[in-house]
Structure 1
């Protein structure tokens, strides 16, 4: 299992980085839209859709919704302050606060939404749509003056999340004794959680030294700490929904890694939260 995970990671990471820096905004948006459709397909299990046909329709409807939102943007004007972009990013802050309360009170909280397919679909929309717009907003920001400025920001967030995941895994394996959320994800520990945050802090410091990120260190650290915390929450939230659905992995598309949601669960929280804080709250760019 570990061998297949490493091989897949060594293949996927260069592909993702190449997509960030080589695809134009339209191509990047389409690629992200396809990823979101695959995520919606997997979310169908969380919403209680056992039929393959139902899940296909869910993926198609998700793609049509995102495509419609894209087509309503004014030509050559993709400002983050447009409602099609700003509203989903702002909604993500509220959703992840609610998700935190759901995780902290699980399994009691599940009694409020366990039997409501509509609520579980709404949770999927609040997870996938802001993620899409967070990716698009960060990638295309300042694209006119610097084609790679947004790519650096997205790479930074991804490394931040990957660092938190890897640090949590290593510290958890070496020192983990105290369970972080045993009712949601028994394998996660407080030692791993702290180790992940330390790893993210080191990555943030290194990027501030060497990468072209035009922002003050204070704003960068504030956004990064909250995004790193959100990434842990994204992972725990997906674990909660998988536990309710009675499944181990969201899918089997990626060898050794499970499904698309298993790989982007942390990013679905970290990316829109980071984008909203950086572009709308602090307005640092």
Structure 2
């Protein structure tokens, strides 16, 4: 299993990194399209749509991303980002409600939310890259740091469950440990002053250290909500992974769940 995970991760890096560093705008758009369509197909399965509607749903998410991308040329991105913020606020309410049998109304609501969240993620991915490769990667690194830090701190010190019915393995101690790791990495990004600018650097330049620290904290919280919301959908659907598209890793959603709210939020806070 470990060997499979490593091989899959290396293959993904060999494809994704050259696109992020060297790819033109159309190529990057193609990468975002693949993410959004695959994640949309998986999301449709989580809300219990069957083929061919799972593919129709993935295509719908992709088309909405393309429409938003076209409409955003030369215009502010407030509309899609506000829509994403509202969708994630609804998701937070669903998390507070906990795991319940997925009835028709719940499936419909989750389906509508996905058609907002996924296109907004794809759009934010492209727009963050337009601000520079370090801008995009720095946000991703902070989110991954929060996840990895939460795992190790949770294993070592976790006692109080963060969301016991949704994700029993997550703890408040783990979440706080992940946040601490993120603050350390974000501070290092600012102090090293990487050319081109990272997301934390931009926040400190425009808002100062205290406000930047608060906004980084909000980003960490958003990434946790994204992770938990996908766990909620999987539990309600009775699925361990969103799919088996990525051998050893599960599905695309399993890899980008924390990034789904983080990318649009990071873009908005710029």
1:180 aligns with 2:172: no
Give the 3 Å change call, closer, same or farther, for CA 66–118 of structure 1 in structure 2.
same
Alignment pair present for 1:234 and 2:226 = yes
Range with greater deviation from structure 2 (29-38 or 263-272): 29-38
Post-superposition offset of 1:221? 2.7
Point out the more displaced range, 8-17 or 95-104.
8-17
Alignment partner of 1:133 is 2:123: yes
Question: In 1, Cα distance between the equivalents of 2:72 and 2:87?
Answer: 24
Cross-structure match for 1:69: 68
Q: Which residue of 2 aligns with 1:28?
A: 28
Q: C-alpha offsets along residues 39-84 of structure 1, whole Å, 9 cap, x if unaligned?
A: 00000112221x231111211222223233334455xx4x4x1xxx
Is 1:254 aligned to residue 246 of structure 2? yes
Q: Distance in 2 between matches of 1:172 and 1:103?
A: 20
Secondary structure of the 1:249 match is coil
- 1:144 aligns with none
Cα distance in 1 between the residues matched to 2:152 and 2:127: 32
Is 1:86 aligned to residue 78 of structure 2? Answer: yes
Q: What secondary structure, in the 3-state scheme, does the structure 1 residue paired with 2:168 have?
A: strand
Point out the more displaced range, 128-137 or 2-11. 2-11
8 Å contact kept, 1:252–1:258: yes
| Equivalent residues in 2 for 1:52-63, closer than 5 Å | 52-63=51-62
Comparing 204-213 with 225-234, greater Cα deviation is found at 204-213
| Alignment CA distance shift 1:270-1:34 (3 Å) | same
Q: Are 2:104 and 1:115 aligned?
A: yes
For residue 3 of structure 1, report the CA deviation from its aligned partner.
Answer: 4.3
User: Could you say if the C-alpha distance between residues 25 and 220 of structure 1 is closer, same or farther in structure 2, counting changes exceeding 3 Å?
Assistant: farther
Deviation at 1:7, TM superposition (A): 4.2
Q: Name the CA shift for 1:21/1:222 in 2 (closer, same or farther; >3 Å).
A: farther
* Partner residue in 2 for 1:283: none
1:100 corresponds to: 92
The runs of 5 or more residues in structure 1 that have no matched partner are 142-149, 279-285
Q: CA RMSD in A?
A: 2.0
Q: Is the 8 A contact 2:62 2:119 kept in 1?
A: no
* Mapped contact 2:124–2:264 kept (Cα < 8 A): yes
Deviation of 1:268 (Å): 0.2
Label 1:220 to 1:190 Cα distance change in 2 as closer, same or farther (>3 A): same
* Equivalent residue number for residue 215 of structure 2: 223
Query: What TM-score do the two structures reach when normalised by structure 1?
Result: 0.83
CA distance in 1: counterparts of 2:104 and 2:219, whole angstroms: 31
Alignment check: 8 A CA contact 1:170 1:192 kept? yes
Structure 2 match to 1:37: 37
Q: What is the deviation of 1:2?
A: 4.0
Contact 1:17/1:155 (8 A) holds in 2? no
Within the alignment, does 1:169 sit opposite 2:151 as a pair? yes
> Structure 1 stretches (4+) deviating beyond 6 angstroms?
none
The answer to whether the 8 A contact 2:246-2:252 is kept is yes
Q: TM-score, normalising length from structure 2?
A: 0.88
